[in-house]
Chain A
Amino acid sequence: AQSVTQLDSHVSVSEGTPVLLRCNYSSSYSPSLFWYVQHPNKGLQLLLKYTSAATLVKGINGFEAEFKKSETSFHLTKPSAHMSDAAEYFCVVSFSGSGNTGKLIFGQGTTLQVKP
């Protein structure tokens, strides 16, 4: 079965320090991978996506993610956290393959807290 696991439910960093949000997936098919962000009382905004063109993906607001097939991971990073980065982050997968019609499967989310 296809699934996605975010390894940390809560991450706290100081402003100006690096951010690492971890995500692993399991799949028998070729995945499309995404990171979405949700600010309080807002919808989901796409940060970046992986589509097999390049293993290192750059997104908006300085975020990056690296796809590692051998580790089935897609961790999200940012060199320097900003106060405005405080939000809920979701690792999301869709799978293309026999019997699959491309719905999104969400991780449980990681709350990022940024301290001044």
Chain B
Amino acid sequence: KAGVTQTPRYLIKTRGQQVTLSCSPISGHRSVSWYQQTPGQGLQFLFEYFSETQRNKGNFPGRFSGRQFSNSRSEMNVSTLELGDSALYLCASSLWAGASGANVLTFGAGSRLTVL
């Protein structure tokens, strides 16, 4: 059974550019969540999608956006990149919406974004 697949694994961008990251969930999982990991702020929730609808959003500026397709694959986009956006972006999938003991999140390996 394939795990959560994130592409690309590494990428380098310059300030002002935009970036799109992709996440393919485990087959049958309908919820996809995104988290940002930085040395200073740790792991922070970005947003969650379930059945193509954004269910929950973290405290990030509008430059951060996402979407989910009918096959449950998800993309997140960051526009007008800033140096502080350099981070590991982790995607997680689960069967249903809302992380809980009965609905555990499985994480991908992440996409490491460097902004120069």
Name A residues whose Cβ lies closer than 8 Å to a Cβ of B: 32-34, 36, 41-46, 49-52, 90, 94, 96, 101-109
Contacts and interface: CB of A to CB of B under 8 A. Distances in A.
Contacts of B44: 106
Contacts of B66: none
Given A36-B107, A90-B43, 4 more contacts: A45-B107, A52-B101, A102-B56, A106-B43
Contacts of A109: 42-43
Interface in B53-110: 55-56, 58, 90, 92, 97-110
B86 to A, nearest CB: 15
A107 B42 CA distance: 8
B42 A94 contact: no
The majority secondary structure among interface residues of chain B is strand
B33 A103 contact: yes
Nearest to B50: A101
Contacts of A101: 48, 55-56, 97-98
12 contacts: A32-B100, A34-B101, A36-B107, A44-B92, A49-B104, A50-B101, A101-B56, A102-B98, A103-B56, A103-B98, A103-B99, A106-B42
A96 B101 CA distance: 10
Given A103-B45, A104-B45, A43 B90 contact: yes
B100 A102 contact: yes
B35 interface: yes
A34 B102 CA distance: 12
B42 A44 contact: no
A34 B107 CA distance: 13
A102 B110 CA distance: 21
Contacts of B43: 90, 104, 106, 109
A81 B106 CA distance: 25
Contacts of B105: 46, 104
Contact of A102 (B4, B58, B92, B97): B97
